[in-house]
Structure 1
Amino acid sequence: MAIPIKIFDVTSKYERNVLDQYNRYQEYVESDTARMRRLHELNRLNPPEVVEFDNPWWKFWRRTERIELEPTPLTDSQFQALLASRKKMQKLQFACEGATEADAPLLAFLRDFGYRNMLTEWNEHHFFMFRPVVRWNGATVELSHLIIGPSHLYIVEWLEGDRSIYHISKEKTWIHQPLKGENTRVVNPLIALTRTEEIVRLFLPSYDGVLQKVTVAPNGYFDHVPTSSTTQFISRSDYDQWLKQVNGRAPIVKAQQIRDVATLLDQTAQMPFRQFIDQ
């Protein structure tokens, strides 16, 4: 699972010191996993089962008996699912300083198509910024998603239609043709990608990796794909193979990758989590 380091303009722990907080995150997850594994081995992750039954009428001083039975142990798959759920929350708490588990139902971006894909399908050697807000030309600007790997920096726009067809054009909107129902229009994602690329190149003028703009429709298709374009169009037919290549390019986290992340974070706006959740 990739590591979120910035959500919109919410204050992130990584803004203090990326490398230090990344190491703290790793240690926190390792110690929590070891603790949960011990509890799992001792069968202490499920509450005990309580059975109640009525005593005979003459035991009027205790009409009901309660017996606690040994809890049902978690299966290996249930235990792994529990660890994965805890890890998602731990990642969120580092990306959004001050967030608690009780806040999760209030955070719509946790259910966002792009957030779920970046979090679960990209390996942990990628860091990602979910629509980061940066300071640029005296104003704040919301960018496309940024995914920073060891050798590639991806600027990504996600299209979530299931078996939809997206008709590419130079207009401000594209035709979205769903499998069922009437056609609609969606904002041309190339506009945000181009603006984001321009800003990122200003922030990282000496970036020596590959800066790649990508429009991704994991469950859909593209029509009228330009023969020459600086943007990749990844559809349902090539998404799995492309993702395999993406993760294969990221076997480790590199020092320059950390420095690039720190540079980008220095340009982002900061809003306390409680202020963000109350607005």
Structure 2
Amino acid sequence: MAQLIKLQDYVSRYAQDIYLYPSRFVRLKKKQWEGIKEKWENGPVQPKEINGYGQPEELSSTIFQKIKSIVRQSDTPQSELKEISPISLEDDQDTMIDDHELEMMNKIQTIEGLKQHFLNQLLPFQLKWASSTLTEKSFIGKEFANDPTLKFLLQRFPDTFLILYKPIFLLKKAPVEAEFIMITPGAAICISFIEEEENAVFVGSKDRFWIKKTKNKQTKILNPLTALNRTEKIVKTLFDMHGVELPVQKLLLSRNGFIDYPLAPYGVQLIEKRNYDEWFSALRGTKSPLKHMQLKAAQILLQYCQTTSIRRLEWESSPRQGDQN
């Protein structure tokens, strides 16, 4: 399952420590899956037996209360919080699957069904990490819980793929919304989706508008390469500024339609129904672990992303509105 490191302009735990959270997510996911699978195979899954750390909830709660007391008394800066305890404080009580869903898993009949249910229930956990930290939170839109594009990007690719979902970059004090960015161990892939009616044909050109043809009509749509080119330019510029040596690729994707563009510009990969399976299998089959340059690339992009959040009520009596990073 790929990792959601940035969701639009929401606060993200990955932005605090990109070298910690990706590997932690992989460990937590593996540990919880192995525990749930074993319980499912050997008997009913019991709530409270499996949490994000393999620790009792009472211990996590005690640690959280103790740390909160220390911070309030000493005004410890957020940058120093991780030095107080070997357990990352942002995750003090995080569990990947809640008690109700653990009970639901007992009714699943096949291992494949268990895997899919497990992946589905990881989405709220990912959204939590992509919209809150120990001291800050963002108000996340309800639509993301059932966003099919987000589910595709997260559920169909390896744990070592890092996803920025339409991040908003703050460049020269001006916000710029980008397309999807997938950072793999080998490349940063800028992705635009062009998916509407089933079997629609998109006729490409260098003009401002493309033609979309369906069974009974023909309409104009904005040239999808405009936003894709803008995203690629931002990523390349930031990488060049900070010495990130990672290839930047452009991908226009239509899983349910066709792209007709015989003289497509150099440097953009067109993936549609006729070549989707081959492309997907090759990318999904990537076995490379997380790489240092990949994490550096993610760190640089996150550094330039806009963040809108408020102070969590647990940490002060009145929230501070409109924090901007």
User: TM-score normalised by the shorter chain: which range applies?
Assistant: 0.7 to 0.9
Q: What letter corresponds to residue 257 of structure 2 in structure 1? A: G
Matched, 1:267 2:301: no
Provide the C-alpha distance between the structure 1 equivalents of 2:262 and 2:183, rounded to a whole number of angstroms. 26
- The alignment's TM-score, normalised by the length of structure 1, stands at 0.78
Q: CA deviation at 1:45?
A: 6.2
Deviations 1:154-207 (A, max 9, x none): 0110111321100101222211112x4432322211111111111111210033
Provide the C-alpha distance between the structure 2 equivalents of 1:159 and 1:110, rounded to a whole number of angstroms. 21
Q: What letter corresponds to residue 280 of structure 2 in structure 1? A: L
Aligned counterpart for 1:76 among listed residues 110, 128, 144: 110
Aligned counterpart for 1:164 among listed residues 189, 194, 200: 200
CA distance 1:140–1:228, shift in 2 (3 Å): closer
Aligned counterpart for 2:291 among listed residues 240, 254, 260: 254
Residue segments in structure 1 that go unaligned for 5+ positions in a row = 47-70
Matched, 1:174 2:175: no
Report the equivalent of 1:9: 9
Q: How many residues are aligned here?
A: 246
Aligned runs of 1:1-279 on 2, under 5 Å? 1-37=1-37, 39-40=39-40, 41-44=42-45, 73-77=107-111, 78-97=113-132, 107-161=142-196, 162-178=198-214, 180-205=215-240, 206-226=243-263, 228-272=265-309
Bigger shift: 239-248 or 180-189? Answer: 180-189
The answer to whether the Cα contact below 8 Å between 1:150 and 1:250 also exists between their aligned partners in 2 is: no
The Cα RMSD (Å) is 2.7
Identity of aligned residues (%): 22
Pair member with larger Rg: 1
Deviations 1:27-51 (A, max 9, x none): 33234334434543332469xxxxx
Provide the C-alpha distance between the structure 1 equivalents of 2:301 and 2:34, rounded to a whole number of angstroms. 33
Provide the C-alpha distance between the structure 2 equivalents of 1:88 and 1:74, rounded to a whole number of angstroms. 19
Provide the C-alpha distance between the structure 1 equivalents of 2:162 and 2:172, rounded to a whole number of angstroms. 26
User: 1:218 aligns to what SS in structure 2?
Assistant: coil
